[in-house]
Structure 1
């Protein structure tokens, strides 16, 4: 018997409707009441939940495992508000199958209210589409993309690491010029490797500045950059002629496809006269910034990129005292959708403000060259950049670095190192060079005090020792230590002696001794020891502080802490003036070697050979009683460096922050 709905054409046969509902691929259910009991559920839904006995049960009874995955709360919300809710790729964990194993599914969910004749929500209609396959594909694609990104980042890291290894690690420190640099690797969607810079002291006292740009990115470009940089720097050192060096690089680029069309700017400055000789081989023209902040670009010298036809023409100009010459790559001034002149004007304005001390942030560098690099790169890249960025600035000092003199009569070490650090701080020397010169100078002065005046009567004390330090035109510090005494010839080898001059030779590049005043040469007067060491400052800030910190030198102290084993914590300078006191302290602390003893040198600011002698004597005393010498030193300190040189085992401690004088 047909129903009125069937007769009106609004409904089909009940069995046909049930069959069609059950065969629909979209999972559909009808729920009644606030408990959300199933009144209808098709086969697609039963397949999702993995069970057929759902009619008459509540959703919480059918899928209790989704409690806490706020699915029930979503159903309650639609019942309470009468507003439908749509959720895409809803992650649920269901216990499906006979073994009850849990499985993650992703469902697209539509929940609609079922209103009564009076408009009240008495139930829900829920439509579920299994999106698990789609989500799995997306996840697989994301994993593949992440892996591709990881491989790209790894390859890019190799290129960046290679490039950093090929770029200069240090800049020269010269008496008449201050050099600073900044470099930023290309943006993340680029591969680094196309820019380079160099600062090369020439044998005639001039300085060559180089900034270049290779066409392309990646490992091949980085390798080409490294080759060109080496060729240019070596030819500049050999010939002191910019045109000749560029001609060599030009011929090399013509034969090598990865180098062809590279651009390069070379400036040769004579700090003494200010004379500038420069070439712009397809490269942006140098910028000159006066001490008052006014700026101008030098005319291009002419000539195309390397490896292309054309003459290599040089041009000349003059740099005033206190002024800067700036070389840079186009990555600093070029921006998409902007004409080049806009970027050039911006660089001139920002660099001029930095040099002229206008609108500088707190803590800006005192060096005009450093200020110009820091502020220009920071401000010109703050909106982004998509190519390597390089800037190299050189300031002609208004006054050359003067000589430093130190003399004590009788000799003493109280202010030797602080005054040396003060002189080196004024010229911006890297921390490691300062440490090496401190150790070398301490040893040389102590050597003169101990040996040059050994024939003096007791109580008279040592005679004068004079130190003169000069910064030569090529950036080499020349330090001479003179005494006026007569040295006694050694009577034979002493196991704990003879390390002072060896330490000095290990710390500097050259050492020469002119002996006089020995008992074999009574007419002679005094001995002069001269050391030479090339000074540097970090090429790129970060690896080292830009200048030596002006730290306070503490007084010697040796504090005994309880054990076992006992621990003697030593701080301050350990040199000829304090070695005897250290010897007494270690003898007392270890009872002449009877007790094990740890000597902590982490707070030691200088460890001279006189202090090393005490440690070796302690080692021998401890060995008699079967105890090892146990030393502790902070990493990368003068004490640690000396222990490493002497191959004395020690425990390394992290380096503490230096005490800086503001």
Structure 2
């Protein structure tokens, strides 16, 4: 025991050795440990640490402590970290602990740096509890995200997936969901071409959120669309919706705006039932049209219809109140911001906007992005229709040579993008035109002469894209037993194309039709970087230099000669079907029916033939349409 004025060194050493946490003292002159308590020795799995040099403590799991001591000795600057992992036995991760570690300079009586002192408190229990809490929160977040994804899919299924495109009217739409806890909402939009040639534009809002609101809005949308497609006027169609809403719980006080636009004259009829009136934006500015003064569904107000006229170049914008109403912004200010933002989008006031050719698409992308930048508490729907100059029809004449197929596909793709077609519809159109032109190249001119093939593409007033392919050769009657041929027409049908064939003494005319539509509700700039260069890539058939039996195909397999080249190389490598071979199509830019026909023939000939086409590649898309078996990656 200690007496007055005398330090009991034995007691001090015992107290130090039994102190909580770890204590390690290092001398500056030679970086040797001069003191270490029992917990430090136990943690570092050493019977003794005294006189051990820091550089001899080599275990990977304790290097944070070693480095911290060395740095404090070198710099004289305190180190502190509240969660330091220490794993003395790297082969047994469970041996590790978490320390709240502090390393301070050790100064002698003169204030000179004598070394460093490390003190660490075991916080393993606290860290594990926090990790468990975070893990539980992450699991909950994942469940919420999955639930939201399911509801968003439901929302997408209840809304139209596309909007129509006409020569004089370009339509686009966007839909934004308010928040995680409100993943399904009551907003809706719709657009269609009517029997009298006009375009219907409707936007509505059911009170509330959730699956029930989504179900009600889908029913109201369906009733309204059905009556308009039957040729009913606005008031008759709204009467049908009113009658239906009176029998459906939850439809009371739903709001709606309906507009009918004549693409050629610009004449507009519209009615608002408790809903914001449309915005008209054009070269000279923007203004909100007057409401028709009628209340929401169930208010039993007398229905009225107002009229206006859109000039050439004007756009009309229908929207739900979530776009302009905000807790942090009065409604009048929201309308003013909407008008300014719509003008910016109309004129393409930024480089990003100028990169989007479609005025309607610019409005539907830019306006919601700006007005919801500070957050929003209600769903946001925007539907825009722009009276545009009709896109020029495509007229193309090429000689009936296989080498011109890439040019034809490129021209069709560029034209389709210009009129506003979505990626999937453009791909189907490119596939169909390539098949028809390839057929003309192969069969129309069989006497050695190379005649012309003419391609004309246009968009019609009934929202249909029509492509006519003509040649001046002789028609060849199909074989009674076509064998493995004739796949091109079935592929076109599977892609959603309507095909018509007319034969005459002076040649054959094939007409392809597909809906003219833009994907909705979220429309994005549809830019393909380097697409033209890839489309013109020549056919390349190579084998693995390492000796593996893999045939890699690149470029376009778009006619019989190209397909025959692929077939010959595969048969050579497989020894005419005796040994297994893998065909890698990831670099193919276009796979026509001739290529599909060869692949299916080879699949029947070679027992262990694997066709690889990564998901999303042109080859994979064609094989999916044709129903040809393939794998998306090597297995």
Q: Provide TM-score, normalisation by structure 1.
A: 0.73
Q: Which of residues 294, 315, 330 in structure 2 aligns to 1:324?
A: 315
Q: d(CA) in 2 for partners of 1:154 and 1:389?
A: 22
The structure with the largest alpha-carbon Rg is 1
Q: 2:306 aligns with which of 302, 311, 315?
A: 315
- Secondary structure of the 1:407 match is strand
* Contact 1:202 1:240 survives alignment (8 Å): no
Distance 1:627 1:298, change over 3 A: same
Cα distance in 1 between the residues matched to 2:511 and 2:319: 39
Whole-Å separation in 1 of the counterparts to 2:413 and 2:224: 34
1:161 corresponding residue in structure 2:
153
Tell which deviates more after alignment, 159-168 or 571-580.
571-580
Query: Could you say which residue in structure 2 is the equivalent of 1:386?
Result: 377
Moved more, 305-314 or 279-288: 305-314
Residue number in structure 1 paired with 2:474? 486
2:541 paired residue number? 559
Q: For 1:532, which of 471, 490, 513 is the aligned residue? A: 513
Match of 2:221 in 1: 229
Cα drift, residue 61 of structure 1: 5.7
CA 411–574 in structure 1, closer or farther in 2 if over 3 Å, else same: closer
Deviations 1:329-366 (A, max 9, x none): 11111111542111101110111122123355476423
User: 1: distance between equivalents of 2:179 and 2:628?
Assistant: 46
Question: Deviation of residue 318 (structure 1)?
Answer: 0.8
Number of equivalent positions = 576
Structure-1 separation of matches of 2:342 and 2:510: 44
1:154 offset after TM fit, Å? 5.4
Is 2:481 aligned against 1:497?
A: no
Q: 1:91 Cα shift?
A: 13
The CA deviation string for residues 167-209 of structure 1, in whole angstroms up to 9 with x for no partner, is: 2222222211222222221134545312122222223332111
C-alpha deviation, 1:151, in angstroms: 6.4
* Shift, 1:581, TM fit: 3.9
Q: Deviations over 1:192-247 (max 9, x none)?
A: 31212222222333211121111011111111122222222232222263333222
Matches within 5 A, 1:10-29: none
Distance (whole Å) between structure 2 residues aligned to residue 427 and residue 316 of structure 1: 28
Q: Is the 8 A contact 2:280 2:288 kept in 1?
A: yes
Q: Match for residue 165 of structure 2?
A: 173
Q: Distance in 1 between matches of 2:131 and 2:471?
A: 78
Q: Which residue of 1 aligns with 2:266?
A: 274
Matched, 1:350 2:349: no
Residues 382-426 of structure 1: CA deviation (Å, up to 9, x unaligned): 1111111121211110x1123222223556661211111121121
Cα separation, partners in 2 of 1:360 and 1:439, compared to 1, 3 Å: closer
For residues 433 and 545 of structure 1, the distance between their equivalents in structure 2, rounded to whole angstroms, comes to: 12
Supply the distance in 2 between the matched residues of 1:144 and 1:588 (Cα, whole angstroms): 58
| Match 1:406 to one of 381, 396, 399 | 396
Is residue 428 of structure 1 aligned with residue 414 of structure 2? no
Once residues 520 and 128 of structure 2 are traced to their aligned partners in structure 1, the CA distance between those partners, rounded to angstroms, is 49
Unaligned runs of 5+ in 2: 1-6, 22-34, 45-61, 69-81, 87-94, 101-123
Residues 351 and 595 of structure 1: is their aligned pair in 2 closer, same or farther, counting only changes over 3 Å?
Answer: same
Q: How does 1:82-121 map to 2 (within 5 A)?
A: none
Partner of 1:603: 587
Q: TM-score, normalised by structure 2?
A: 0.76
Displacement after TM superposition at 1:549 (Å): 7.7
Tell me, in whole angstroms, the C-alpha distance in 2 between the residues paired with 1:195 and 1:587: 58
Alignment partner, residue 18 of structure 1 = none
Classify 1:267/1:35 alpha carbon distance in 2 versus 1 (closer, same or farther; 3 Å).
Answer: farther
Unaligned runs of 5+ in 1: 1-30, 40-45, 50-57, 74-88, 94-101, 108-131, 518-524, 655-662
Structure 1 pair 246–595 and aligned structure 2 pair: CA distance change class (3 A) = same
After TM superposition, the structure 1 stretch with the greater mean CA deviation from structure 2, 354-363 or 190-199, is 354-363
- 2:28 is matched with none
| Cα contact 1:194–1:217 (8 A) shared by 2 | yes
Show structure 1 runs of 4+ deviating over 6 A.
Answer: 31-39, 62-70, 89-93, 132-151, 546-549
Q: 1:503-514, aligned counterparts within 5 Å?
A: 503-514=491-502
Structure-2 separation of matches of 1:302 and 1:33:
95
CA contact under 8 A between 1:453 and 1:485: conserved in structure 2? yes
Q: In the aligned structure 2, how far is the partner of 1:482 from the partner of 1:205?
A: 29
Partner in structure 1 of residue 620 of structure 2 = 640
Q: Does 1:466 find its partner at 2:450?
A: no
Deviation of 1:304 (Å)? 0.9
Q: How far did residue 290 of structure 1 move? A: 0.9
Give the 3-state SS of the residue equivalent to 1:365 in structure 2.
Answer: coil
Give 1:453's aligned residue: 445
- Give the aligned partner of residue 73 of structure 2: none
Would the alpha carbon gap of residues 66 and 183 (structure 1) be closer, same or farther in structure 2, given more than 3 Å must change? farther
**Could you say which residue in structure 2 is the equivalent of 1:288?**
280
| 1:536-567 per-position Cα deviation (integer Å, ceiling 9, x unaligned) | 22214478947898532223323322433242
3-state SS of 1:335 partner:
coil
**Aligned counterparts of 1:154 and 1:618: Cα–Cα separation in 2:** 42
Match of 1:659 in 2: none
Root-mean-square deviation (Å): 4.9
Taking a change above 3 Å as real, the CA distance of residues 36 and 392 of structure 1, as seen in their structure-2 partners, is: farther
Distance 1:382 1:489, change over 3 A: closer
Superposition map of 1:583-662 within 5 A: 583-619=567-603, 623=605, 627-653=607-633
User: 1:42 corresponds to which residue?
Assistant: none
The question of whether the paired residues in 1 share the 8 Å contact of 2:538 and 2:556 is answered with: yes
Conserved 8 A contact 1:204-1:240: no
1:283 CA drift (Å): 0.6
Q: Take 1:144 and 1:422, find their aligned partners in 2: how far apart are those partners?
A: 50
* CA–CA separation in structure 2 for the residues paired with 1:140 and 1:578: 59
